[in-house]
Amino acid sequence: MDRRREEPLRLALLGCGSVGSQVVRLLREQRADLTARIGAPVDLVGVAVRRPELQRDAEIPAELLTTDAAGLVSRGDVDLVVEVIGGIEPARSLILSALENGASVVTANKALLAEDGATLFAAAEKANRDLYFEASVAGAIPILRPLRESLAGDRVRRVTGIVNGTTNFILDKMDTLGSGFAEVLEEAQELGFAEADPTADIEGYDAASKAAILASLAFHTRVTAADVYREGISEVSAADIASARRMGSVVKLLAICELREGSHGPAVSARVHPAMIPRSHPLASVREAYNAVFVESDAAGRLMFYGPGAGGAPTASAVLGDLVSAARHRLDDVRGAGESTYAQCEVLPMGQTETRYHVALDVDDRAGVLAAVALAFAEHDVSIQTVRQEGHGHDAQLVVVSHRATDAALSATVDSLRTMDFVHDVSSVMRVEGDSE
């Protein structure tokens, strides 16, 4: 099969913000290498933007700019479309139109894939075109391709990711400086590590979309953002971080996807929440705005993939990697592997997920309190790993770390502790992850 051809592949770019500009720059700077690696040059034939008059990082000939994205993807002579607009609409309609019109699509759109990937994959299947999205999870880190392909002969048991740079930056600063959440968020916003409206990041929506994508690929089943249990970091206090530190742990916002036994065969769970992990865990050393994904599988064992999780150039690197694959396939008139959802696993609700809890209670400092607390755990069939008393008198605090139990049982335990008259306050509740007990 001879890949070489004289005629260039024709590429349309949808969106030209920080990622799109870097895609344009790399296409130009690496043109000779890309041509050699693909077997044909890639020509940019159009860039759809909302405001053509804006100054951009990349030099784009004015005649390529258009506000008519729908017209660009449906003109019929486009081989490849890169979508970096984000959001649900018009991105979805544009991707569907691109596929219908015979283009392969590379997208960084985590929200769309996690909400309605099924529609996109079905359209790609019908059109016999590729739909690639490495850039949608963990930026530059190659994680989707390893899950889809390198681990295709293995059974993945758990994927634990630090997949949101903003929250990792904030939690890392809270840990190193001892500062409170609000103060560090403000600093992150000044430094450009957090958006003016940081909700999608700090409340875990961004990570939940990524968890849905990771779970779908790892377990060959369909998981959407709505299936993912989600808690953000806005309630994480300096006291939580200090308490984690005393346990030799650190607080991270984790996206955790697990393969479990359900009542009718294999089931999966997917969740995003802050958790304490031991400082010896490989994920604990992921600092600042870096991302990492830790994969546990039957045969390979424990793997970790680490790198920058966001930013224009890193995300563009992932986009271009996908673009090279899609372009090679166009030249050979073939298609890579499509969606793999044969396993059709049940998605377990959070209550049935197993985890461990760290609970800090402000209590009366008197005999019988510890016994009563221990009884509350026992009544919910939760066994205790450690109890530590801190302070005395009015400042007495009990810190309990449980063994593994269902989230429902742990949560019910905390609810019952709240009703006890000698418990003045449940000052910290946080899940504990990352060790085998």
The footprint of a copy of itself (CB under 8 A) covers 1, 22, 26, 30, 33-34, 36-37, 128, 134, 140-142, 145-146, 149-155, 220, 282, 285, 297-308, 311, 313-314, 316-325, 328, 332, 334-335, 337, 340, 342-343
Partners of 347 in the β-ladder: 268
Work out how close the CB of 300 gets to a copy of itself at its nearest, in angstroms, rounded to a whole number.
Answer: 4
CB of 101 to a copy of itself, least distance (A): 19
Q: How far is the CB of 258 from a copy of itself (least distance, A)?
A: 17
Residue 32 CB contacts under 8 Å (≥ 6 apart), including other chains: none
* Comparison of 125 and 354: residue with beta carbon closer to a copy of itself: 125
Q: Which is nearer to a copy of itself, 301 or 368 (CB)?
A: 301
Q: What is the largest CA-CA distance in the chain?
A: 86
Token digits of residue 36: 């050699």
316/399 with CB nearer a copy of itself: 316
Residue 211: enclosing H or E segment and its boundaries? helix 205-219
Identify residue 12 by its one-letter amino acid code: A
Smallest distance, a copy of itself to C-beta of residue 432, A:
22
Annotation marks residue 173 as catalytic = no
- The SS3 call for residue 67 is coil
User: From the candidates 110, 126, 173, 210, which is the catalytic residue?
Assistant: 210
CA distance 42 to 158: 38
Which CB sits closer to a copy of itself, 180 or 266? 266
Query: What are the residue ranges of helices labelled H in 18-164?
Result: 18-29, 31-38, 69-73, 91-100, 110-127, 144-145
Nearer to a copy of itself, 143 or 400 (CB): 143
Q: How far is the CB of 169 from a copy of itself (least distance, A)?
A: 16
Q: Taking a C-beta distance cutoff of 8 angstroms, is the pair 70, 90 a contact?
A: yes
Q: Give me 259's structure tokens.
A: 């393969």
Q: Would you mind telling me the total number of residues written for the chain in this entry?
A: 437
The residues assigned a catalytic role are: 210
